[in-house]
Amino acid sequence: MRPSSVILPIFLFGLLACTSNRRHPQRISAPTLEKGESYFNKNNDSAFYYFNLVATTATDSLEIAMAYTYMGIIQAYEGDQYGGQESLLKSLAYLNEHKKKDQECLCSNYHELGNICLDLKNYEAAIDYYRKALKYIDETGDETIALNGIALTYQKKGDYDQAIDIYKSLLAKSKDRKREYARVLSNYAKTKWLKDSTYPAGPELQRALQIRRDSNDIRGLNASYAHLSDYYSLSAPDSALYYAGKRYDVAREMNSPDDEVEALSKLITLSPANLLKPYFVRYQYLTDSIQTAKNAAKNQFALIRYEAAKNKADNLQLQKDNAQRKTQLALTILFFTIAGFVLVIRYRRRRQQIEFASRQAIQEHQLKTSQKVHDVVANGLYRIMTDLEYKPALDKEVLIDKIEELYERSRDISYEPSTTSTVPFHDKIEDLLESFASERIKVLIFGNSAALWDRVNAQTQHEVEHVLQELMVNMKKHSQASSVLIKFECQNDQFQIHYTDDGIGISPQVTYGNGWRNTENRIKKIGGKYTFEHPERGLKIHISFPIA
C-alpha cells in the first residue's frame, strides 16, 4: 500500500554545479516502482522499462505520477528533452496540489520542467516553472537550489541585475554551507563580470575554487575551472588555457562527455596550432558519440513504450480469449459433471452385482483350495510317513526328493488362515526363523517382542508369517549366506521389518518367480511396501506396513 506521505529529497543528478539541480522522487512501497528505482542512474534503459510498466498498469495515482517523473528525468538526462517534458506534464495530470502527499512530487516536476526549459533556452517558461516549484518547498536548502536555478536563468537570459540581486540574497543565506556558498559566490562573480567586463572577479572566483578544493567538491571544481577559463580568456590567455586543461582533467575524472566536450572546445580555442590536432580529434569523436547516444536513447524509449503498449493490447485480447475459454470450460465441466453423476450411479449398481458374483466365486474357490490341500499336502505327507514307518532302510536322498516334490506342489495352493493359534505370535515367529539356522547359517533376531506384535491384527500377522517364511526359504535355497539378521521395529505407526544377509545377493535385473510374486501380493494386501538394497555383498530387504 502507498504511504500516507511521500518525501522527495533533493538529488544531484550529475549536472554542472553552476547549473540548476535535478530532483527525483524518494522510494515508496510499490514493488515494481522499487525495481525501477534500483536501476535508476545505473541502467536507465531497465529503469525506464519498469517505470513505464508502473505508469501503464498501476492504479494508484501517486505511483503513476512518480513513474512519469522518473521517466521524464531519465529522458532529459539522456538528451531527449521534449520526451522528458511530455512525461513530466503527464505526471502533473495525476497530482492534486491540494493533497499534501502530492506536493513533493509536484515540486520535483516543476523543478525538472524548469531545467528542461533552461536547456532549451525557453527562459521565461523556465523561470515560471522554478517559481511554481518554490511554492511547495519548505526547507531552506531546497529553496536555495530553486532560487539558484532562477538566478542562472536570468544570467543566461542576459538580465544580469535580476540574477545579481538573487545571488546577493543567497550569499547571505548560505555562509554556513561551504559548498553551497562556493557555488553561489562563483556564479555571482561570473554574473558581475558578464555585466561589466572590467569587474575584478578573479579573487572571488579563486576563493570559490579554494573552498571547493578543500571540500573535495569535484563537480564544483569543474564549474570553477570553467568560470576561471572564461574570465581569463582575454586578459590572461595562458591562465585561461591552464584552467581549461584542469577542467578537461576533471571532466574525464567525472566521466562526463558533455563537460569534456565543453572543455575541449575551450582548449581548441586557446591552444597553439601545433597542439590542436589531438584535441580536435577527441572533440569530433565525442560530439558524434554523444549525438548518436542521444538518438539511440530517444529511439530506445520510444521502443520501450511501443512494446509496453503492444503487450497491454495483447494482454487485453488474451483476457478476452481467456474469458471465452472459461465460459466454454464451465459448460464442458457442467456437461461432464452430469454425465459423471449418471455414470457413477450406473457404476455403483454394476459394482454391487460384481461383488455379489465375486463372493460366490471366492466361496467356490475356497472349497476347491481346501480339497487341494487335502489331496496334495495331507496325502503327500501320509505317503512319506508310511514310507518312514514301513521301510526299514529308506534312502535319505529319496526322502529329500519326495519332500522337495511335495513342497513345490504345495507352493501353488492358495491358503486361507486357520483358526487362532494358542502359541504367542512372537514365539511362533522366533521358531519359524530359527528353524532355518544350522551349523553353517547363523540367524540373528532383534526386536521380536510380544508388545510389538500385539499392535498387529491377526490377518496381518498371518500374511507377515508367510512373507518371512518366503524370505528364509529363498535365503536357504539361493543366497549361500552364512549370517542372516532380521530386525523388527515400529516408527510413526509403521511396522518395519529389516532383512539382511551376507550371501551372494541378487541382480537388480532378476526376474522373480511365483514365490516372490505371491509374497509381493501379501505385502500389498496389508497396505505395505518393500525395497531392495544391493550392497557389494549380500542383500537387504526393507518391508513396512501401517499398524491398523
pLDDT of residue 8: 38
pLDDT on residue 527: 92
Q: Considering only CA atoms, which of 96, 105, 98 is closest in space to residue 73?
A: 105
Label residue 396 exposed, middle or buried (CB < 10 Å: 0-12, 13-18, 19+): exposed
Provide the greatest CA pair distance for the chain: 149
Count of alpha carbons within 13 angstroms of residue 124, beta-carbon side: 0
CA atoms of 526 and 548, how far apart (whole Å): 9
- pLDDT given at position 368: 53
- The topology (CATH level 3) of 423-546 is Heat Shock Protein 90 (3.30.565)
- Cα gap 365→370, rounded to integer Å: 9
One pLDDT digit (tens) per residue for the chain, 548 residues: 333 333 333 333 333 333 445 444 544 446 888 888 888 888 888 888 888 888 888 888 998 999 899 999 988 888 888 888 999 999 999 999 888 888 889 998 999 999 999 989 999 999 999 999 988 887 766 788 889 899 999 999 999 999 999 999 999 888 888 999 999 999 999 999 999 999 999 999 999 999 999 999 999 999 999 999 999 998 999 999 999 999 999 999 988 888 888 888 888 888 888 888 888 888 888 888 777 766 666 666 666 665 655 555 556 566 776 778 888 888 888 888 888 888 888 888 888 888 777 777 776 666 456 545 644 464 456 456 645 654 566 677 767 766 766 776 676 565 544 545 688 999 989 988 887 888 888 999 999 999 999 999 999 988 898 889 888 888 888 888 999 999 999 998 899 999 999 998 887 666 666 667 878 888 998 999 999 888 888 899 999 999 86
- The answer to whether 105 and 90 have CB atoms below 8 angstroms apart is no
Check: CB of residue 441 under 8 Å from CB of residue 484: yes
Q: For cell 504367542, what's the residue?
A: 424
Q: Nearest 5 degrees, angle CA 288-CA 291-CA 296?
A: 120
The predicted pLDDT at position 506 comes to 80
What DSSP state is assigned to residue 26? P
Amino acid at 378: A
Helical pair 100-119 and 140-157, crossing angle rounded to 10 deg: 20
Residue 92 cell numbers, joined? 502533473
What pLDDT was estimated at residue 438?
A: 80
The domain ranges of the chain are 423-546
pTM comes to 0.52
3-state helix, strand, coil in the chain (%, to 5): 70, 5, 25
- β-strand pairing of 483-491 with 442-446: parallel
Q: Is 501 helix (H, G, I), strand (E, B) or coil?
A: strand
Residue 11's pLDDT is 35
pLDDT value for 476: 82
Task: Give the pLDDT confidence score for residue 502 in this predicted structure.
Answer: 92
- What is the C-alpha separation between 219 and 226, in angstroms, rounded? 11
